[in-house]
Amino acid sequence: MNDINSSSSNNKFEMQFIDKLIISMIGIANIIVIIITIVSVRNNYRRMYEAHLRSLNEIPYNETYKYLKNDNVITFYQDINEVAKYECTSDCEITKFSSSQFIIDNDKLIPIEDDGKVNIYDIENDKTTIVLDDIPQTSINNKYGIIKMDGKDGVINKHGKIALECIYNDIDINTSHIVALGNNALYVFDNNAMSIASKPITITGDISISEKNNNLYINIFGNQTTTFVFDTKTNKFTN
């Protein structure tokens, strides 16, 4: 009788052990399936992420945003996230870089060529802030570029702000001064685009400036070449 009870207890223990073993194996199998699923999903996401990044176009000198163009809409992305859409007036494109182009050191401001103009588009505020005749042009002063609006020249700074309004016939810039010609006058500005002198003149033409021995030489090339000398110590014209 004792042998029978002992054998029954052993069988019961073995069955319980087997049941626990099966349950443990099922649990381990489920964990493995979950891990494989997570890894697979993450790998698929990574592949989709990398494929999406490869499909985006670079914006010259812009480390923050990329874009896709479909029909007449430019969609901007930061990483893989869509952040803004620009609707073209006509066939438009992101301005291609050229050696004469002044680079605005502000990633949120994007030059877009649209309908014969260059629009400076503000991604963060989803609006065009400035409409120019052409891309901003470089000067030897990396703080400023020369812009043209409705045929008139002005100055833009590295942050994309207009330093001098587009009201002048011609502008030249060196490392310390800005000289503008227009409205029957010659204007001299300091390196902060602050006005320091002006001289009424009726001469028109293209400006070229040079500086030597505290004198700023302002050449105006019209029907003939006329040179004005500006003393940078006294901030006065000497002729």
Evaluate whether 188 touches 202 at the Cβ level (below 8 Å): no
Residue 34 pLDDT grade (very low, low, confident, very high; cuts 50, 70, 90) = confident
Closest of 201, 211, 223 to residue 172, by C-alpha: 211
| pLDDT for 41 | 75
Q: Which residues pair with 231 in a beta bridge?
A: 215, 236
Amino acid identity of 199? K
Residue 14 Cα to chain centre, angstroms: 72
Residue 19 pLDDT grade (very low, low, confident, very high; cuts 50, 70, 90) = low
| pLDDT for 8 | 55
Amino acid identity of 11? N
- Quick one: average pLDDT of 6-24? 64
CA–CA distance, 83 with 66 (Å, rounded to integer): 10
Whether the predicted pLDDT of 143 surpasses 90: yes
Vertex 122 angle, CA 121 and 126, to 5°: 100
The SS3 assignment for 166 reads strand
Residue of 199 and 48 predicted with greater confidence: 199
Going by C-beta distance under 8 Å and a sequence separation of 6 or more, which residues neighbour residue 142? Answer: 158
Q: Where do we find the tokens 């698929």?
A: 44
Q: What are the Cα distances from residue 87, in Å, to 35, 42, 75, 119, 128? A: 44, 34, 9, 12, 11
Vertex 50 angle, CA 70 and 123, to 5°: 45
Show me where the domains of the chain are located: 1-54, 56-133, 137-239
Whether the predicted pLDDT of 188 surpasses 70: yes
Evaluate whether 89 touches 133 at the Cβ level (below 8 Å): no
Architecture of domain 137-239: Beta Barrel (2.40)
Q: What is the pLDDT of residues 60-102, one digit of tens each?
A: 899 999 999 988 899 999 988 899 999 999 889 998 888 889 9
Q: What is the mean pLDDT of the chain?
A: 88
Fold of 56-133: Thrombin, subunit H (2.40.10)
- Quick one: average pLDDT of 199-215? 94
The SS3 assignment for 67 reads strand
Residue 210 token pair: 């040079």
Evaluate whether 59 touches 94 at the Cβ level (below 8 Å): yes
Evaluate whether 113 touches 93 at the Cβ level (below 8 Å): yes
Q: Which residues pair with 212 in a beta bridge?
A: 215
Vertex 84 angle, CA 80 and 88, to 5°: 125
